[in-house]
Amino acid sequence: MINKISLFLLMFIGIIGFFAPWIVPNDPYLIDTTKRFFNPSWHYPLGTDHLGRCIFSRILIGMRYSVGTAIAIQLISSIFSITIAAIVTFKRGVIERFFTHLWDILLSFPTIIFAFALIGMFGPSLKSVFIALIFAQTIYYARIFHNAMMSLNEMNFIKAARISGTTGVKLLRIHFIPHILPILYTLLSLDLGKVILEIASFSFIGLGVQAPTPEWGMMIDEGKQYIRQYPALITYPGISIFMIVLLLHQVGVKKNAT
């Protein structure tokens, strides 16, 4: 029951995020210093920030950057990692040895270290975080999918499919993909929350999304200097991150348990 409620809430939040530009009550970028630190009202449901901008509108738009970017990173890295894993599994030989040694080297370090390195090369921006996290996630996922495919490769139904002439993309699509989908779903649901936290963290320390973009981590960074006078500036985006990650974890754990 809790799993279904969590999934419903995630879908509802996703719909709100998709239509956010059309449903926000105010311009999230409009600066009006005469309206600084307004209390919640009908016109400003969560009040205004230090620049007079509507917090509620910025939370809604920020969902597209925090959650939307994380979803895109997960989907793209999944496609890349499955493709790499399939190539390594099917080709074997030199290619397999090369990638096996490469994974051993790269995975001996925390993947976030590579993200920091790439962001340092490209400069602080959402694009840099996007590329860096795709790279980090692809390395991690490709090794997992490769191990799963190697186990499947020894199964009798795979050997029978090869003998019958099924190879390449058709073999991957019909026989491999259906069996790694549960692994993919678990990784996506559990790691999506982690990626959201990483995006927010990079923005918070100044390496990710830059002002005035209303990403949740950036909003916390902007509001931290007013934590004593007006804690709502960091409370609302903080609660947004917490709730999304909690719901994703709930859905992922329940699904994995079944």
Residue 96 has pLDDT above 80, yes or no: no
Residue 258's pLDDT band, with cuts at 50, 70 and 90, is low
Residue 254's pLDDT band, with cuts at 50, 70 and 90, is low
Residues spanned by the domain of 107:
2-9+49-257
Is there a contact between 199 and 215 (Cβ–Cβ < 8 Å)? Answer: yes
Q: Is residue 158 part of a domain?
A: yes
pLDDT in tens, 172-226: 777 788 888 888 888 887 888 889 998 998 888 888 888 888 899 999 999 988 9
Q: Is residue 40 part of a domain?
A: no
Residue 235 has pLDDT above 70, yes or no: yes
Residue 257 has pLDDT above 80, yes or no: no
Q: Is residue 38 part of a domain?
A: no
Total number of domains in the chain: 1
Here the CATH number for the domain that contains residue 56 is 1.10.3720.10
* Entry field: residues in the chain: 258
Q: Is residue 32 part of a domain?
A: no
